[in-house]
């Protein structure tokens, strides 16, 4: 993969992760980005890796490599899935 395509893919992963947090938290784009940066800083995994892990976790395709994302957002995603399954009365 060329550097340009890799950079585009990384940026896309970051945009998707920001969108996931906006949707789940109802927060501003900047707040979602800052949350990703905070997790990346705390874990030392890098921003794009954390973004990919959050996307994998939200999409149901996470692996053991995504454990830090699970620690950071697993409960938030679990609650969102549970709410989506609740019947509307």
DSSP states along the chain: --HHHHHHHHHHHHHHHHHHHHHHH---HHHHHHHHHHHHHHHTS-HHHHHHHHHHHHHT---GGGHHHHHHHHHHHHHHHHHHHSPP-
Structural domain including 73 reads 3-85
Q: What would the pLDDT profile of 54-70 be if each residue is shown by its tens digit?
A: 999 999 999 999 999 99
Number of structural domains (the chain) is 1
pLDDT more than 90, % of the chain: 80
pLDDT for the residue 3: 73
Provide the whole-model pTM.
0.86
């Amino acid at each position: 993969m060329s550097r340009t395509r890799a950079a585009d893919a990384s940026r896309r992963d970051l945009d998707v992760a920001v969108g996931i947090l906006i949707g789940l938290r109802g927060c501003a784009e900047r707040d979602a980005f800052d949350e990703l940066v905070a997790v990346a800083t705390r874990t030392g995994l890098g921003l794009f890796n954390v973004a990919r892990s959050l996307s994998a976790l939200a999409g149901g395709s996470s692996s053991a490599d995504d454990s830090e994302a699970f620690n950071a957002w697993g409960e938030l995603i679990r609650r969102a899935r549970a709410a989506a399954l609740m019947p509307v009365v």
